[in-house]
Structure 1
Amino acid sequence: MLYGIAAATAALLLAALLAALLRVPALRAGIVDRRLHRRLPLLGGLAVVVVTCLVAGVGQWTGVAPLGEGVCELVVAAASVAALGLVADVWRLRPRVLVAATAVAALCVVPYEETGVLGGMLGVAWIVAASLAFKGLDHADGLAGTVGVVTAFGVGACAAAEIMDGLAVLLSVFAAALTGFLMHNWHPARIGLGNCGSLFTGFLLSSSLVFTRAGYDLGSSAAVMCCLGAVALADALLVVLARVLARRPLLRRGPDHLAHRLRRLGLTPPGSVVLLGASSFSAVLVGVLVHTGWTGEGAVLWVAGGALLVVVVLLGIPVQSSQRTVSTQVSSQLRVRNG
């Protein structure tokens, strides 16, 4: 208990310090993203990855907080995915490469002895989908980090209920590191997660949940997983539906995510993140209660129904790119008429 508190405190302070130190090198090296006409350095995710692996590794090496069977391999796989994400931040790899690498890493960490072949394959699909969904959440200042912290505490609570103390400590350290990063990522952000941090976040959380739910039936596991990943999955579903209906490429970036549409309704950037963070907390709480048996699986239907309702409503909100297209067409028509 005392080590967990000390480790989390150290992770928070180290991540906050390292994120601040990496900002200038990222700007000088050109590892940046364009967000609202400003250059956002993208090495904040590297700070989260390094601190999480360092603190967890110290606990494993000293024997004070051993991670447990299979968890060390999970951390190594998550770090490998993060390393490839860092390469993508620097050299802009194709999305299919990130998908394939994430799938290979997921194949290496799923506990097939407890899940079975079918459950293992579904677990791999879940890890890949959740990792990409968290990558998509990194479209607004503070959003991916906020949802990641809330989800980490939820998965950590599920791990603690299964007496997976090492995994629970790992997730608390990771949540603390993300919190330290959020000190610099809240709007207006001074540093971002990038592919490195967002893929690491999604992979670590989703694979940890697969470990926690191993041995349970597939139906209840799917229900818990949908609750714990509700916001990220809703965002991914919204983007996919919007781009399919508009016949736009699925993997091309655009201002059509949850936070973008909420801002079109008049919410401020921090307000949209707070609303989505609160929604994530509510869904995660339901998932934890279902996992621990405090409530029935029927409660998941409220979460799924609410998420689908939000997706349907926000699907009708016009995105900025669409409005720009319309205005461009109108201007062209006026020029033709006036000419």
Structure 2
Amino acid sequence: MTSRFCRFLFLLTLLFSASAMAVNCQRAVTPLENTICNNDNLHWLDSTLSVVYQQAIHEEGLEGNDKEYREWEKLLEKCTSDTCIERAYYAGISALADTNRDFKWEGKWWNMRAPNMSGGVIQFSRSAKWSETLDIRAWAGLNKDEFTAEARKLYGMLVVERVVDTSNCKLLVIPKKNGSLQVYSNADWGCRMSMPPGVFLDGAYQMAESDPRPKATLLSLGIFPDATLDDKFRALVGDDYQSFVNSANVYIYQDDIDNIGARVISMWVQGSANKRTAIVMYTPKGEIWAGRISPAKEGGLMFSYYSTDGSDQRKMPRTLAGWKLRFLDE
């Protein structure tokens, strides 16, 4: 049996083991499954446990975690009330996540998985035997907000029943033995409705006094596929390179309406999509066209254009010209 086939069998086992975990609410048949599916909080905990389980398998392997999960599942099936089910989920998540129960709740924690020009910081301002106070700051582009929450300690984790001044936003904070924090929110039905557009709290957090994330580049963001093209763009736009990076808060592919085999990436800043936006277009041959919209000092908007084919905007590809017309009609 080849090593490639062995890996395939492992991934297949992983797929079926992981997908069998979360309750399928479209096919709920037992009293336990229906209870979970008819309670938003239990449904969220069920989904969270599924994610934690898949991460544990990825990091530690299937055998031990699968056995632990099956043993926990037998305990869950004995529950006949919402309260019992909820506590069972917290106990299962804590066990599968290998929670650090001796964790020291202190310091400033930064969300390492937040996108470019977005972020989140959690700081613990008051600690008690059974509770913690969280001060939270989160942003996405120009959209930002600050929150406070009281959390209770349960199975070594922090459970936030409600973030102040939000609509039913719940958090689960898990201290990992590698020294990081993992945060899960009930985003789909709670936190997302209360956060500014694009802002989220979920992620892996690392302690530091200042933002520990490496400085983003158009290469690290995946806008350019290799360092050669990224360096060529740096040379083309000069000091404006960082302005393009700062515009890449959200970035998506766009159609090449010139049909020249180019890749086109449009990008913008959350909360200022009509004023801080940019576009990059390049071909496999290394041809580059780029435009950027930004606020002008005297008011209004200004357009900056760059091309390996020269600065004459009359030769601008139709793709860029059409994009420009969305913001400037002259």
- TM-score, normalized by length of structure 1? 0.29
Please identify which structure carries the higher helix content. 1
Please identify which structure carries the higher strand content. 2
Q: Which has the higher contact order (CA 8 A, sep 6+)?
A: 1
